[in-house]
Amino acid sequence: MHEIALRQRAHRAFTDRPVDEDVIRAILTTATRAPSAENTQPWRFVVVRDAALRARIGDLTARAWSGGGRAWAQKSLPSGLFADVDAGATGGVAAAPVLVVVSADTTACVPAVLGPSIWPCVQNLLLAAIAEGLGSALTTLATAFGDELRTLLDLAPTIAPQAVVPLGYPAVELRPGRRRPIDDVTTWR
């Protein structure tokens, strides 16, 4: 498990090789094994394979990026990472053969625990993708237009999109990510 987690990277460029439905099902099954508040399991998934629908989600992503995301990221990211994120937000993510829109059933639990219930599920999804040889990334840009995304996906009003996770075979192999040393981020008492 440690080896898989150490390989976790955000992939924003994918080949057009299709992802088998059985692989997607295995990834989603792993995602649903995450903990949730009071075991409410509020996650709901929409697997988007249709190219036109992926493009429309990509349009929402690009709108959010150009509407403020780009300016914020340009101030805070190193130039190489910024270029990668920019390419993903303006088309790379939508070019993935699969987009998984992770949503939350807002009736499943109190609002304060929706996020703490959804994010472990998303992390399991990302790790399962790596284990299956796929690239993935966590993006929330399209959720800035949650009502439009909900309408686009024909979701009930009680289902709130939380993230869009592109899945596909990586176009390039990424080196392990740089992280701060454990001693820089840990206090022992």
Q: What is the pLDDT of residue 1?
A: 64
Cβ atoms within 10 Å of 26's Cβ, excluding its own:
15
The pLDDT tens digits for 74-97 are 888 888 888 888 778 888 889 999
Share of the chain above pLDDT 70, in %: 99
44: β partners: 103
The two structure tokens encoding residue 100: 């998984």
Q: What would be the CATH architecture of the domain defined by 2-172?
A: 3-Layer(aba) Sandwich (3.40)
Average pLDDT over residues 130-156: 95
Report d(CA 149, CA 169) in Å as an integer: 25
SS3 184: helix
Cβ atoms within 10 Å of 108's Cβ, excluding its own:
18
Of 66, 151, 135, which is closest to residue 103 (Cα–Cα)?
Answer: 151
> What dihedral angle (degrees, nearest 10) is formed by the CA atoms of 111, 148, 55, 137?
-20
Q: Which residues of 137-148 are buried (b: 16+ CB within 10 A; e: fewer)?
A: bbbbbbbbbbeb
Domain boundaries, the chain: 2-172
**pTM of the predicted model, to two decimals?**
0.92
Q: Taking a C-beta distance cutoff of 8 angstroms, is the pair 93, 12 a contact?
A: yes
